[in-house]
Chains A and B, each alone.
Chain A
Amino acid sequence: MEILIDFALLAFLGATALAVVRVRNLFAAVMLTGIYSFLSASLFTVMDAVDVAFTEAAVGAGFSTVLMLATLALVGSRVTEPQFRIIDVSVKVPPKRPVFPLFVVILTGAILVYGTLDMPAFGDPTNPIHQHVAPHYLEESGHEIGIPNVVTSVLASYRGYDTMGETTVVFTAAVGVMILLSAMRRRDRFGEEAWGDERVETLDIGFVDAFGSEMEGQGEGEDTGREGGAG
C-alpha cells in the first residue's frame, strides 16, 4: 500500500517538475517550486529520511520562496523569447528545434537508467553501503556517542570534518552574496551603471564596501517606482 503512495507522490513530483520547466511566467514557476518542495519533503518522509525531510521543510516552506521572490523583484518575472539561441532581435529568426540536444539527453538518460539496473535494490541488506561503516554506526553509536538519533551522531561526530566543511560552505555563500549584491549595484566592468545612482570609481571599492559599510541608512525608502507584479 505504501508503495502506491510512493508512486503517487513521485508521479506528482514528475508532473510538477515538467510544469516548472514548461511554464513561461517565472512567478508561476516559483509557486510550482514551492509545491515541488512540499512533495519532496513528503517523499523523504515516506522513505524514512526524516532529517532530510526536515531540512527540506525548513528551507522550502519559508525561505527559498522568499529568496526566489526577492530575485524576481530584481530581474522581472517573465521569459519572453526562447533562451536557447542568441539571435539578433531585429531579425526574426524562427527558434531552432533542439532535436540533437534532445537526442543527447535521452541517450544519456537511457545509459544512466541502464546503469541503475546493476545497482542493488532499495533497502537491500547486502548493499555495499551497508557493509562498510554503517553497521558500526548503527551498533556502536549507542554507547560510543550516547545519543539516540544516529543521524546526529554521524553528522556531528563521526563525520565532524564534513560538517565543518559544510558550515564553511554556507558561510562562503553569504560572503558571495554580499560581494555580488554589493558590487553589482555599482558599475559593471564595462563602466555601465547597473543599479543605483552612486558613482564609484572602481569595482574594488565595491568589494571593500561589501564588508565595510554598515547598512544602517536603509529601510523603508521611497518607492522605487519599480512595478513588481507579473503583468
Chain B
Amino acid sequence: MLTVTSIAILLTMLMALIRALLGPTVYDRVLAVNMFGTKTVLIIAVLGFLAGRPDFLDLAILYALINFIGTLAVLKFFEYGDLGRRLDSKGDA
C-alpha cells in the first residue's frame, strides 16, 4: 500500500512538474512549485516508512515548516518588486 501511495505521489509530482514547465504565467509556476513542495513532504514521509526508517520525518517537518518562505519571497517579489520592504507599505503598487 505504501508503494501504491508513493507511486501516486510521484505521479502528482510529475503533473505539478508539467504545470511548472508549461506556465503560462509565473503564478502558475509558483503554484506548481508550492504544490511540488508539499508533495515532497509527503513522499519523504512515505519513503521513510517504506525503508523502515521513520527518522526521516525530521526532514519532512523541516519542509513543512519553511516551505512557504520561498513561496512568500516569490510573491513579495512580484507584488512589490523588492524583498526588504514592509508588507503593508504598498507604495504605488
Contacts and interface: CB of A to CB of B under 8 A. Distances in A.
Q: Do A and B touch (CB < 8 Å)? A: yes
Contacts of B36: 34-35, 38
A38 B63 CA distance: 9
Given A31-B33, A42-B40, A50 B20 contact: no
Counting chain B residues whose Cβ lies within 8 A of the other chain, the interface size class is 35 or more
Interface stretch (A56-64, A155-163, A185-193, A203-211): A56-64
B37 A31 contact: no
Contact of B17 (A1, A15, A222): A15
Contact of B44 (A2, A31, A45, A48): A45
B59 A54 contact: yes
Contact of B20 (A5, A32, A61, A228): A32
Interface in B5-59: 6-7, 10, 13-14, 17, 20-21, 23, 26, 29-30, 32-33, 36-37, 40, 43-44, 47-48, 50-51, 55-56, 58-59
B47 A62 contact: no
A147 to B, nearest CB: 15
B83 A66 contact: yes
Contact of A61 (B37, B55, B77): B37
Contacts of B23: 28
Interface in A27-52: 27-28, 30-32, 34-35, 38-39, 41-42, 45-46, 48, 50
Interface string A1-25: 1100100110010011001000001
Given A53-B59, A57-B62, A61-B67, A220 B85 contact: yes
B63 A61 contact: yes
Contact of B81 (A58, A220, A226): A226
Interface of A: 1-2, 5, 8-9, 12, 15-16, 19, 25, 27-28, 30-32, 34-35, 38-39, 41-42, 45-46, 48, 50, 53-54, 57-58, 61-63, 65-66, 69-70, 72-73, 218-220, 222-224, 226-230
